Amino acid sequence: MNLQPEDQQLLEELCQQQGVSAMKVLHLLKTVQEYEFKDRRTGIYAALRDVLNTRYSESELEK
């Protein structure tokens, strides 16, 4: 998911305040976006569960 630098910074700040991984939030948003315009969203819950169960390093955020 491509965010503007200001949005990226805001997301990082909010996630840090809440103790949530910004990388995980980005992956969740990307997953929801991928299913957004499908006629049937079959599999979205499994995909979201996979994201939640995956560990992401914050260094990936720089990419």
Alpha helices in 1-63 (DSSP H): 5-18, 22-35, 44-53
Contact yes or no for 24/53 (Cβ under 8 A): no
pLDDT at 55: 87
Residue 5 clears pLDDT 90, i.e. is over it: yes
Domain that holds residue 40: 5-62
pLDDT at 44: 95
* Domains held by the chain: number: 1
**pTM for the complete prediction?**
0.81
pLDDT at 58: 63
Q: What gap in Å lies between CA 39 and CA 46, rounded to an integer?
A: 17
Residue 2 clears pLDDT 60, i.e. is over it: yes
Residue 1 or residue 25, greater confidence: 25
pLDDT for 20-54, tens place per residue?
999 999 999 999 999 998 989 899 999 999 999 99
